[in-house]
Amino acid sequence: MLIWVILACLTAIVLLVLLRPLAGPAANEGAPEALDAAVYRDQLGEIDSDRARGLIGEEEAEAARVEIARRLLAADSKAHAADGTKSDSGPARAAMIGVALALPLLALGLYLAYGSPRLPDQPLAARLQDPANDQNLEALVARVEARLREHPEEGEGWDVIAPVYMGWRRYPDAADAYAQAVRLLGESAKRLSGQGQALVLANNGVVTEDARHALERAVELDATLIEPRVLLAIAKEQDGKFQAAIEDWRALLGEAGGDAPWRETVEKRIAADEARLAGKPVADAETPAPGPQSERGLSASDIAAAQTMDPAERQAMIQRMVQGLAAKLDQDGSDLPGWLKLVRAYSVLDRKDDAVKALQRARSQFSGNTQALEQLDALAAELGLKS
């Protein structure tokens, strides 16, 4: 608000300067005539001095006095006339000041009435997460990426763009962005947890050593975070340490409320790990169901769950997920990552005809989106699909 008051004052000052000549030239007219009158009076004194010293005769002195007196009278007349005009310029000057003050005040009043002076600033992170700005998200991310290419030491930019990469399933880019944010802004539980999850997803659900280190550090900073603890338990399952994994799962259950959305998944994981320790086959009913899914796909625990299954179980799980994803895309075909996942899943299942049909439907859905078509073409080339 203060900035608008300052701008209004500056506008008034500029208008005063610009409008001053319009108040009438009389303010400056009297000055030359007054100066001329003073010169003529000095000349009269010089004539008397020259006559007293005998430099000029009486007739010449008289003629000079007459001429200078005539000029002096003319100058005095003009000076008086200018003074009179100057006294009449009061209304014009008042009008000039009124205009100079009224215009910025009017503009400020209109802004206060119809503008949004109290609207708070919206940081870039908030704009990127605003669903209403989805149509501009790609442009915003492109600007952030361009900025980071020129100024790679701006940690805030990496911190903002990392979750966006996660949402777009650009997991290697997300892992790198989180790593840059940690390096430049320092460690935080949120950044380290995001980095660990991105590394797991970038490695097809395998909890690598780098991911494990980031997740363990995140838990050290904030033991209430669920995601890193889930992935660390899955890491123990992948290492064959089922008893240690069971202990982690039970610790999570002990802290969970009765309405925790992941309680059923954890209970099934405990049952599966206990069956493995006992040397019993893991029945379908005991197989951990996929965990809660985000709008854009599977969580890290979903992908990692498939790593512990036998081929038949894994195939059945993939078939269920593919059917669910296809049904979702039938209802809402605007999810490009979903189409890319579906085409790849059909290809993995050796359902090439279905993959080609899904690719054609996706191209039809995004017929006006050059970037989306490029991603679809790149996937088709990678999978060897002809459409």
Render pLDDT for 59-102 as a digit per residue (tens, 0 to 9): 777 777 778 777 777 766 766 665 555 554 566 667 667 766 77
Given a cut of 50, whether residue 29 has pLDDT beyond it is no
Give Cα separations from 89 to 40, 98, 127 (angstroms): 29, 14, 56
Under the banding of pLDDT at 50, 70 and 90, the label for residue 4 is low
Instruction: Assess if residue 136 is contained within a domain.
Output: no
Q: What is the DSSP letter of 121?
A: P
Instruction: Assess if residue 198 is contained within a domain.
Output: yes
State the Cα–Cα distance between residues 315 and 302, nearest whole angstrom: 14
| Domain extent for 342 | 309-387
Contact call for residues 208 and 200 (beta carbons, < 8 A): yes
Query: For residue 305, which of 324, 329, 284, 277 has the smallest C-alpha distance?
Result: 284
Residue 55 belongs to what H/E stretch?
none
**Residue 275 and residue 319 in one domain:** no
Instruction: Assess if residue 193 is contained within a domain.
Output: yes
Instruction: Assess if residue 133 is contained within a domain.
Output: no
Res 211: pLDDT: 93
Give Cα separations from 367 to 333, 355, 360 (angstroms): 12, 18, 10
Instruction: Assess if residue 267 is contained within a domain.
Output: yes
Contact call for residues 286 and 272 (beta carbons, < 8 A): yes
Instruction: Assess if residue 158 is contained within a domain.
Output: yes
Under the banding of pLDDT at 50, 70 and 90, the label for residue 26 is very low
What is the total count of domains within the chain? Answer: 4
Res 84: pLDDT: 53
State pLDDT tens for residues 208-257: 899 999 999 999 999 989 999 999 999 998 888 889 999 999 998 888 77
Give Cα separations from 303 to 199, 270, 314 (angstroms): 12, 17, 10
Alpha helices in the chain (DSSP H): 2-19, 26-52, 58-87, 90-114, 124-129, 134-150, 155-167, 171-185, 189-202, 209-221, 227-238, 242-255, 263-277, 300-307, 311-331, 336-348, 352-365, 370-383
What CATH number is associated with residue 319?
1.25.40.10
Instruction: Say whether 294 sits in a helix, a strand or coil.
Output: strand
